[in-house]
């Protein structure tokens, strides 16, 4: 097989950042994705519909001329979020809100402490049909970083899903067999996104032979047995798992320092990386569902009608992406050879 044509895909979880960074990140995503769920963890965070809609306009201003890419905005939940905030955002066609446990990842210091205090907000989301997107990790220092996803399931997520069975929940960027099994055991309102880095890498790729800061992300890469479980479930074609890159750009100097940022900037090669994974798994026929169908179906949005074509054509991911301000980003899989290329 030398060519693959699929329904145009969507990215159901990514970070664009803001300001000058948008002129790099928006075109990189719009080259192949028709829609994307945009994370709200800016500084300050996007906590109101007005902020979300203003951010959307900044993203659209960075969209390439003639491109119809659509950013789908989200609200950042805090302990001050009210049911009225949810109703107002939903009426402005904001499809989802994001739950970050405080301190879980980049720019999450203003996020939620005491998740049960948000139960009235979850009730409102369930009633209006707004999706809850969850970064599923506990943040207590005494919990091993490799165990924090499972601990979140046991401490919080199982209870949320049981109490609000009609609330549509996306367990984002899952990394463990425990998360796979939990999503499979849940009802039809529970789904998950999976990133290219968690399908391609395990913690050896972060730590063996020296620390590789550009493979550092949160949730952190796990052992190979968990990676294999993720690969198995996407190869199975289950419609409860779909594409979400968690593409997260950081300037090179903020990754390569004594306390580097978490995040992999995969937008430059995302769909090609997924194609490589599915081919390696002898499941290339399952790529279209994962990339183009299941996310749209779960969000109750129409599937895209256009297509993209991937060609069997080797190319090398660039070592650096230069920004207008003189900074650079090291993209995920920098310097590595890929087997598929967007036509």
CA pseudo-torsion sign 290, 295, 296, 297: positive
Q: Is 41 annotated as a binding residue?
A: yes
**Per-residue pLDDT in tens (0 to 9) along the chain, 343 residues:** 899 999 999 999 999 999 999 999 999 999 999 999 999 999 999 999 999 999 999 999 999 999 999 999 999 999 999 999 999 999 999 999 999 987 655 555 565 678 999 999 999 999 999 999 999 999 889 999 999 999 999 999 999 999 999 999 999 999 999 999 999 999 999 999 999 999 999 999 999 999 999 999 999 999 999 999 999 999 999 999 999 999 999 999 999 999 999 999 999 999 999 999 999 999 999 999 999 999 999 999 999 999 999 999 999 999 999 999 999 999 999 999 999 999 9
Comparing CA positions, the residue from 336, 264, 278, 335 lying closest to residue 310 is 278
Cα separation, 62 vs 195, whole angstroms: 24
Cα separation, 176 vs 174, whole angstroms: 6
Q: What is the DSSP string of 27-44?
A: HHHHTT-SEEEEP---SS
pLDDT of the residue at 5: 98
Cα separation, 221 vs 175, whole angstroms: 7
Instruction: Provide φ and ψ at 182, rounded to 5°.
Output: -65, -45
Which token pair is 319?
Answer: 């070592």
Q: Is 147 annotated as a binding residue?
A: no
Helix (H, G, I), strand (E, B) or coil at 321: strand
pLDDT of the residue at 149: 97
Which residues have CB under 8 Å from 294's CB, separation 6+? 191, 239, 240, 241, 242
First-to-last C-alpha distance (Å) of the chain: 15
Q: Is 173 annotated as a binding residue?
A: yes
Q: Is 241 annotated as a binding residue?
A: no
Q: Annotated catalytic sites, by residue? A: 246
Which residues have CB under 8 Å from 82's CB, separation 6+? 121
Q: Partners of 171 in the beta sheet?
A: 134, 192
Q: Is 198 annotated as a binding residue?
A: no
- For residues 31, 201, 171, 14, the Cα torsion angle rounded to the nearest 10 degrees is -30
pLDDT of the residue at 38: 98
Strand order in the sheet with 190-194: 74-76, 96-99, 131-134, 169-171, 190-194, 241-243
Q: Judge contact between 105 and 77, C-beta under 8 A.
A: no
pLDDT of the residue at 70: 98
Instruction: Provide φ and ψ at 119, rounded to 5°.
Output: -55, -40
Q: Is 135 annotated as a binding residue?
A: yes
Which token pair is 198?
Answer: 């968690």
Cα separation, 281 vs 278, whole angstroms: 5
For residues 257-281, one letter each, b for 16 or more C-beta atoms within 10 angstroms of the residue's C-beta and e for the rest, the string is eeebbbbbbbbbbbbbbbbbbbbeb
Count of the separate structural domains present in the chain: 1
- List, for residues 92-115, the tens digit of each pLDDT value: 999 999 999 876 555 555 656 789
For residues 22-57, one letter each, b for 16 or more C-beta atoms within 10 angstroms of the residue's C-beta and e for the rest, the string is bebbbebbbbbbbbbbbbbbbeebbbbbebbeebbe
Q: Is 300 annotated as a binding residue?
A: no
Q: Is 203 annotated as a binding residue?
A: no
Q: Is 246 annotated as a binding residue?
A: yes
Cα separation, 41 vs 37, whole angstroms: 12
pTM of the model: 0.96
Q: Is 218 annotated as a binding residue?
A: yes
Q: Which CATH number characterizes residue 22's domain? A: 3.20.20.140
Q: Is 98 annotated as a binding residue?
A: yes
User: Which residue pairs, CB below 8 angstroms and at least 24 apart, start in 179-183?
Assistant: 179/136, 179/149, 179/150, 179/153, 180/229, 180/230, 180/233, 180/241, 182/153, 182/157, 182/158, 183/240, 183/241
Q: Judge contact between 288 and 239, C-beta under 8 A.
A: no
For residue 121, give its domain range.
Answer: 3-342
Q: Is 110 annotated as a binding residue?
A: no
Which token pair is 274?
Answer: 């997924």
CA angle (156 as vertex; 154, 160 as ends), nearest 5? 120
């Amino acid at each position: 097989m030398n060519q693959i044509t699929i329904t145009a895909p969507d990215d159901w979880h990514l970070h664009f950042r803001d300001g000058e960074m948008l002129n790099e990140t928006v075109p990189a995503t719009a080259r192949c994705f028709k829609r994307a769920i945009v994370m709200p963890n800016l500084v300050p965070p996007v906590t109101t519909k007005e902020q979300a809609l203003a951010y959307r306009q900044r993203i659209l201003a960075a969209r390439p001329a003639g491109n119809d890419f659509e950013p789908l905005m989200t609200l950042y939940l805090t302990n001050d979020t009210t049911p009225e905030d949810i109703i107002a955002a939903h009426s402005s066609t904001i499809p989802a809100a994001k739950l970050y446990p405080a301190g879980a990842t980049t720019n999450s210091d203003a996020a939620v402490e005491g998740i049960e205090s948000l139960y009235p907000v979850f009730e409102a989301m369930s009633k209006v049909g707004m999706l809850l997107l969850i970064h599923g990790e506990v943040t207590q220092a005494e919990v091993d970083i490799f165990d924090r996803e499972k601990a979140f399931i046991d401490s919080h997520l199982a209870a949320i899903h049981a109490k609000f069975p009609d609330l549509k929940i996306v367990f984002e960027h899952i990394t463990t067999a425990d998360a796979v099994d939990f999503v499979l055991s849940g009802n039809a309102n529970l789904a998950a996104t999976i990133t290219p880095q968690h399908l391609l890498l395990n913690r050896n790729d972060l730590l063996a032979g020296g620390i590789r800061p550009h493979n550092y992300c949160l949730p952190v890469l796990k052992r190979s047995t968990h990676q294999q479980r993720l690969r198995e479930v996407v190869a199975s074609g289950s419609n409860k798992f779909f594409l979400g890159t968690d593409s997260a750009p950081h300037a090179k100097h903020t990754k390569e320092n004594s306390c580097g940022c978490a995040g992999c900037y995969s937008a430059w090669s995302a769909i090609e990386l997924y194609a490589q994974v599915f081919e390696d798994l002898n499941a290339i026929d399952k790529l279209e569902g994962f990339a183009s169908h299941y996310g749209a179906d779960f969000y109750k949005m129409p599937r895209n009608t256009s297509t993209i074509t991937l060609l069997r054509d080797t190319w090398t991911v660039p070592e650096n992406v230069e920004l207008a301000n003189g900074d650079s980003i090291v993209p995920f899989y920098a310097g590595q050879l890929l087997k598929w290329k967007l036509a």
